[in-house]
Structure formats: structure tokens, C-alpha cells
A and B are shown apart, each in its own frame.
Chain A
Amino acid sequence: MSCERYREALIDAAASGDALPLALRAHVEACASCQVAFERERSLFAGIDGGVRAAASAPMPASLLSAVRVRISQKDASAARRPASAHWAYYAAAAGAVVIALSPLPRWSRNAINTAHSDAGASVASTERKQDLSAQPGLTAERSVAPVESRVGRGRNSPTVMGTSTPSDRMKGNRVKVLVPPDQELLLAHYVRALHGGSLRLAAGDSSKPPTLGSPIDVIEVSRVELLPLPDWGPDSTSDGKRLGDTVNGALK
């Protein structure tokens, strides 16, 4: 009966791997059957340990690390490409704005637009500016540019005009207009939103030189940016071009 009392203690001792307590050790030394039982338990646990160790030390497949490296490289490459295409939300918003803008406008708002733009004066637009903008930074809005050619698209593919002006410019009738290719309208809308939000700044740089760190950049102050189609776009165009909808007014610093 005394051996029965020690059996659990023996199993526990073998399971824990600790040294036997004094009382138990004394009993095991005195009792041959308990000594055999204890050895049996110890060999069982040693077998378990060996078996688990064998299972736990399974050799890693050689392909694992190379596969992980490939996937990491793919992930890095896709992350590097992402910035150019991650602004789909902006594009979607801009596209939505364009759709809204292309819907028929109420008569009163067209009249208001006509009135607002009638004093804008002669406007010129071009894809390139032929004057040196860096000579007088900050006065970009007053730069006149080469007259626009008569090639003007119609319909949805017609180029968009980005106009920049200040209130004083408007009074003087000096406005700068920049032709934007039709496939870059959404990008322009994104930039205008960013300009309006202050996360972008307009600057003049020399396009003949690659941008370098620390190169001087002349920041241009633009108080107003408008997105307009070309003047003779559509049957109901105004003298200054039909308003594309979202006129973005932003004082930029």
C-alpha cells in the first residue's frame, strides 16, 4: 500500500525531471519494485523527449528562405511602384467632379460665370512659356506666354486650361493659362486639390537641369487656380471658356 502512495509522486518526479524529494528517494532506495517503476518512467520520459526533439528538429526545406526573399523583393517592388498609383481616390474624386461639372448647369449660374469672366481680359495659353520665370520669381501669374494655336479639341478629349490669377491680375486682365493634355486632367485636378490643401507648392525650376538636392527653387505664390476647358469647347461655351465645375480657390504660400 505504501508503494501505491508513492506511485504518483514517482511519476511526477520523472515528469518534472527534478531530483527526488528526500522521503521519496529513501523509499525508492529501499523498495525494488518502486525502483524498477521509477526507471521505467524515466526511460519513458526520455523516449518522449527524444521523440519530441526529433520532431522538433525537422530540417528546414532549402527552398523556404529563397522563397521568402523572392516574396520580400516582390513586396518591395510593388511598394516602390505604389506611390504613382496610390492616388486612385483622388482620381476618382476628380473624375466625379468632372462628371458633375459636365452635367447641364442652371441658366443663372452660366450667366454668373459669364459675368465673372467677362472682365478677365485677353487670355493666352500655351504648352510652354518662353520667358524666363526665374528672373522674377513670384510673378508667375503675370507672365504672358505665347499665343495658343488654333488646334483645339472638342468634346471630352479637349485639353483643359489651368488658369492662375490673383485678384489684382484679374483687375488688370493679366492671367496665365496653361494647356493641359486631356489625359492629364485628372492628375491636374489632383494637383489643384493638393495646392488648395497646402500640401504642394508651386515652384519654378530649370527643366534643362536634373533636380538636385539643395538646388535653389523659386517658390511661386498663386492665389487662385481654376480648371477650365478651352474657350470654344462645346456649343454653350462662354467667351472665356466653359467652367469645368470645381473652381479651386486657394491662397497659397
Chain B
Amino acid sequence: MQELVLIQPGGSAERDWAKQAEVAATRREFEERLAECGPLAYRVARGVLRNDADAEDVAQEALLRAYRRFDHLRDRNCFRSWLVRITFRLALDRARSARRREQRETLWSQAPPQASTEDLAACSEFQSRLERAMEDLSPKLRLVVLLAAMEGHTVEEVAAMLGVPPGTVKSRLFFARKRLAEKLR
């Protein structure tokens, strides 16, 4: 029996297979980078947010967003810096919204948030002072300090990640450390 079929030019089956193969290849390539760069995304988010749960959420979202736009990334060697920027922006957004929420809640309850006993026990005096000092840093300075402290990144690597000249990284690092020292002195 013969029947009429509607066929799109070029063959939909062929195109579907090509698309599936492309998706699989993208997935494989992304998987390789996921294991390598996942911790970096988490640490960047953790450095900005200083909260494990929020950092995990943001890192997940950043990695998913990176996967969605992976095809648009022309130079795959820039994946790390690209991911750092995505994570950093998402973490900043989350931190801002959390700050606004906190302000609203503070207005309602007039009760400042208390640190949990676990937090107090876990942090030494110096570490907790350092974290407070880090919180006072501007996001840009904080990110530079964190990236420089992470995984033994050099100034050049941090500069490449942030898309800024190495001199900018150096000066940000310098001012950030000075400001931290002032708070801790």
C-alpha cells in the first residue's frame, strides 16, 4: 500500500539524527569540563555567598546555564573564565536579593540574624573576623582575592578568568589585602 507522506526538505530523520549526535557530543564535551570546573564554580559561589546551601544552588544554576549556552562559546578553552563569570554574576544576584530579603525581615522583626552555634564552633576567632572583613569588601575585590587563593591560580590566570588585564588584578589584590589587614589589625 502506498500512502502520501509529508516530508520536509533535507529529510527530517537525517536532521534528527544529526541533531541527536550533536547533542550527545556536546554533552560529552561538557561532562569532561563539568568534573574539572564544578568545584571552581562552587567555590566562587561559596566565596561570594558564604553559605553552603546557597552556593550549591548557584553553582548548579551556573553549570546548567553554561550547558545551555555551551554551543555559543566560541573558544572552549575559555570555559573556566566563562563559568567563573556566570557563577559570579549569579552569586552576586543571589547575594543582593538575600540582602534585600534580610533588610525586609529585619524591618519586620528588628532582630539581627544570629550565627548558629555550629558556625561559632567551627570558626576560630581570626577566621570569623576575616570572614566579616571579606564581607565588607566589594564583590570585585572579593572575587579577585578568592580566585587568587583558589587552586593556586596565578595573577595571569585570574586576569584571564575575569577578562581584565593582569595589572588590574594585581592592584585589586593589593587593595583588597590592605583593606582586610586594616580590619584585622
Least Cβ–Cβ distance between A66 and chain B, in angstroms: 10
CA distance A200 to B5 in the complex (A): 10
CA distance A199 to B164 in the complex (A): 46
Bitwise, B105-147 to A at CB < 8 A (1) or not (0) is 0000000000000000000001100110010000000000111
CA distance A41 to B178 in the complex (A): 10
Q: Which residues of B contact A9 (CB under 8 A)?
A: none
- Does the CB pair A71–B6 fall under 8 Å? no
| Chain B interface, number of residues (Cβ within 8 angstroms) | 55
- Does the CB pair A60–B39 fall under 8 Å? yes
Judge if A110 is at the interface, Cβ distance under 8 Å: no
Judge if B85 is at the interface, Cβ distance under 8 Å: no
Judge if A12 is at the interface, Cβ distance under 8 Å: yes
- Does the CB pair B52–A58 fall under 8 Å? yes
Q: A48-B130, A64-B59 are in contact. Are A201 and B177 (CB under 8 A)?
A: no
Judge if B156 is at the interface, Cβ distance under 8 Å: no
Judge if A228 is at the interface, Cβ distance under 8 Å: no
User: Which residue on B lies nearest to A51, using beta carbons?
Assistant: B130
Q: Which residues of B contact A16 (CB under 8 A)?
A: 170, 174
Select the stretch in B40-48, B72-80, B86-94, B95-103 that faces chain A: B40-48
Q: In the complex, which of the residues B42, B68, B149 has the most CB atoms of chain A within 10 Å of its own CB atom?
A: B149
- Does the CB pair B1–A207 fall under 8 Å? yes
Other-chain residue from A15, A72, A205 in contact with B177 (beta carbon distance below 8 A)? A15
- Does the CB pair A58–B43 fall under 8 Å? yes
CA distance A230 to B89 in the complex (A): 60
CA distance A200 to B11 in the complex (A): 10
Q: Which residues of A contact B63 (CB under 8 A)?
A: 68
Least Cβ–Cβ distance between A84 and chain B, in angstroms: 12
Q: Which residues of A contact B145 (CB under 8 A)?
A: 52
- Does the CB pair B67–A72 fall under 8 Å? yes
Bitwise, B164-176 to A at CB < 8 A (1) or not (0) is 0000001000100
- Does the CB pair A133–B181 fall under 8 Å? no
Q: A205-B2, A208-B1 are in contact. Are A56 and B8 (CB under 8 A)?
A: no
Q: A65-B34, A213-B13 are in contact. Are A128 and B47 (CB under 8 A)?
A: no
Interface residues of B, Cβ cutoff 8 Å to A: 1-9, 11, 13-14, 17, 20, 23, 27, 30-31, 34-35, 38-39, 42-43, 46-47, 50, 52, 55-56, 59-60, 63-64, 67-68, 126-127, 130-131, 134, 145-147, 149-151, 170, 174, 177-178, 180-181, 184-185
5 closest residue pairs by CB, A with B: A51-B130, A56-B149, A60-B39, A52-B149, A60-B42
